[in-house]
Chain A
Amino acid sequence: MNFTRRETLALGVGAAALTVLPFRVHAAADEAIAAFTGGAEVGEGGIELTAPEIAENGNTVPIGVSAPGAVAITVLATGNPTPGVVTFNFGAGAASQAASTRIRLAGTQDVVAIAKMADGSFVQAASTIKVTIGGCGG
């Protein structure tokens, strides 16, 4: 795809415009999940992932994770070429098992957070974050 500057200026977010269609989950995401969990079963509940439904800026999307009692939480952008975003480790003295950061998304995709609990079990939460051209609000 060759885009002139004028074309990319015309509408939307320029370079991201051609990548707004939903991304498939990369095989790399499955591998990253397996690496974190060691293949153990992953349950639901006990973890909260706070994320916008539609990104205001796909280059810097604020997200937050919270999982009381977790020893580690990993965050994966399943549609990014490199899905691994961050892993937060919580020591015994941690006041709370919550963290927030900003992530970069290549396009619309599911972001997954997985917590490793103190008993060695795993729980996850996922959220679809849309990256859009926008521009036609009523």
Chain B
Amino acid sequence: MISRRDFLQVSMAASAMVGASGFGNWSRLAAQQSLTQDDLLQFDTYGNVSLIHITDIHAQLKPIYFREPEINLGVGEANGHVPHITGADFRKLYGIADGSPSAYALTYNDFTSLAQTYGRVGGMDRVSTVINAIRADRPDALLLDGGDTWHGSYTCHQTQGQDVVNVMNALKPDAMTFHWEFTLGSDRVNEIVEGLPFAALGQNIFDAEWDEPAELFKPYKFFERGGVKIAVIGQAFPYMPIANPRWMFPEYSFGIREENMQAMVDEVRGMGAELVVMLSHNGFDVDKKMAGRVQGLDVILSGHTHDALPEPVLVGETIVVASGSNGKFVSRVDLDVRDGKMMGFRTKLIPIFSDVITPDPVITKLIDEQRAPYINELTEVIGKSDSLLYRRGNFNGTWDDLICEALIQERDADISMSPGVRWGPSILPGQDITREDIWNVTSMSYGEAYRTEMTGEFIHVILEDVADNLFNTDPYYQQGGDMVRIGGMGYKIDISKPQGSRISDMTLLKTGEKIDAAKTYQVAGWASVNEGTEGPMIWDVVESYIRKQGTVSVAPHENVKVSGV
């Protein structure tokens, strides 16, 4: 039996590096001097197996800024537990000093000044350096990619994922699972997967017609590392055909398929697996529920909901590891597996501070080669921001407020809607906005910006429907996105209520009038899951708006009133 007291040997990379200190007082140089690559990578190799987890990169090959959420509410059993703890409460829980590198990496407060102090995060050339260092300690470490890798940037869109595939292949992963990859369309996904030099896994990727496991994607793969028989079982995003356009990959069906997961665990145990790892794109709350219901999982490497946790969460004897997004973190998970049993673990969530970790020149060159054909388009400055632009959070972010305003202005609408996705880097006040920056928060294969008429009643139905995907108390009914963003309209939401009675007081902001259920409104939005949606591409709409504005300012929005927390 593993008890937390006996075996929990976690360490948060940055927390011990810099003692308590006033934030914002250091010069950039001073901060860099106190933060070294050796500190970030320091790890006493443990046990006999090492896993390296990276997930939800969203095609961010270069360093970026990424602000973690301020509002991340949990409902039901998740209420008050990580990852539904943010800001000061999060720092208190993990003993993180205000203004420290960990505070910058893991919480939202004072983001602008801390970003100016500590610099950008991520970059696959820095990630490569970290992976190489772990492999130097443990040459047979497994590198596992949790998916949402071939989506999310200008170059990824233009090359249909090839730029990221080329860079990731150079990092030599051992296995991967999937979500947004399927929005490249099934023909393209199949083409890439057929040529992948590593395992493409998903026990829940089924043939839609026959409701049988899809041939191209295997449920699991065995590895022998450190004398241990390891089975890695893939779990793709369960709600792909619902959250994303089904018509783009009609041959495939997904779902949670808990009973099949149990069958796969039993099967690999029967074949002699001593360690069972689930490489998951379920989202954290779904993974926690699954950990408590499927017997025999040792480690869940959790992706999809973009949570970064400095310690794994224990559910029974299963550890659930969450490794953030956008290339901002890499998790190292060292395990002691003996006599067919996981006896202990030591983990480290390594923040990729781009100015501290030396880039791997081989990967830098490879990334730059992918970007070279598009470098003029990527780097063209469209405008400038006076405000911090970010997306993460349950209800709104300033990037989405800007996108919603662009839709209203450019498409002459009363109300606008922007999808509650969790990807998209941040922009600091005073920073230029390039075309690449706009694509980083809008790029997708179904980016048409529609304009249509909706009744007040229909708008209410949409909000109720999306709210239930986020606030249903049963994690298996959650889809892992945030609330749809609304421009031009305010509303109240009581997250403790059931579907149909959460949303009230919908108000048209330009007149202050209540939304009339029977009245028709002009609504502009993007990322419709329906085939045949017409309109200009969202990145063109946003570019046109920013160009006209020159410098954009986005005041904090307070159009959503939340209760029932």
Contacts and interface: CB of A to CB of B under 8 A. Distances in A.
A6 B243 contact: no
A42 B470 CA distance: 34
B461 A137 contact: no
Contact of B241 (A53, A56, A133, A138): A56
A138 B423 contact: yes
A50 interface: yes
Interface stretch (A13-21, A31-39, A90-98, A109-117): A13-21
A57 B211 CA distance: 13
A100 B244 CA distance: 27
Given A21-B464, A56-B246, A57-B246, A138 B255 contact: no
B476 A53 contact: yes
A43 interface: no
Nearest to B475: A53
Nearest to A129: B477
A22 B452 contact: no
B529 A14 contact: no
Given A53-B477, A132-B465, A132-B468, A137 B211 contact: no
Given A12-B462, A12-B530, A18-B461, 12 more contacts: A22-B498, A22-B499, A53-B474, A53-B476, A56-B253, A108-B499, A128-B477, A133-B465, A135-B466, A136-B243, A137-B242, A138-B305
B335 to A, nearest CB: 29
Interface in B375-425: 417, 419-423
A21 B533 contact: no
B539 interface: no
Contacts of B453: 4, 6-7
B256 interface: yes
Contacts of A12: 462, 465, 529-530
Interface SS, B side: loop
A14 B465 contact: no
Nearest to B523: A10
A7 to B, nearest CB: 6
B454 interface: yes
A136 B211 CA distance: 25
Contacts of A62: 211, 253
Contacts of B423: 138
Contact of A54 (B242, B417, B458): B242
Contacts of A14: 530
A100 B210 CA distance: 11
A136 B469 contact: yes
13 contacts: A9-B450, A9-B530, A10-B454, A11-B417, A11-B528, A12-B529, A18-B457, A20-B465, A21-B461, A21-B464, A21-B499, A52-B256, A134-B529
Given A135-B527, A138-B422, A9 B533 contact: yes
Contact of B477 (A17, A100, A130, A133): A130
B443 to A, nearest CB: 15
A56 B242 contact: yes
Contacts of B466: 133, 135-136
Instruction: Name the residue among A4, A20, A50 with the largest chain B CB count within 10 angstroms.
Output: A20
Interface in B106-143: none
Contacts of A4: 453
Contacts of A50: 259
Q: Which 8 A-B pairs have the closest CB atoms?
A: A137-B243, A134-B242, A138-B422, A10-B452, A138-B481, A56-B241, A136-B481, A135-B529
B500 interface: yes
A136 to B, nearest CB: 4
B184 to A, nearest CB: 15
Interface in B418-477: 419-423, 450, 452-454, 457-458, 461-462, 464-466, 468-469, 474, 476-477
Interface string A26-67: 000000000000000000000000101110110000100000
A138 B304 contact: yes
A6 B523 CA distance: 11
Interface string B497-519: 01110000000000000000000
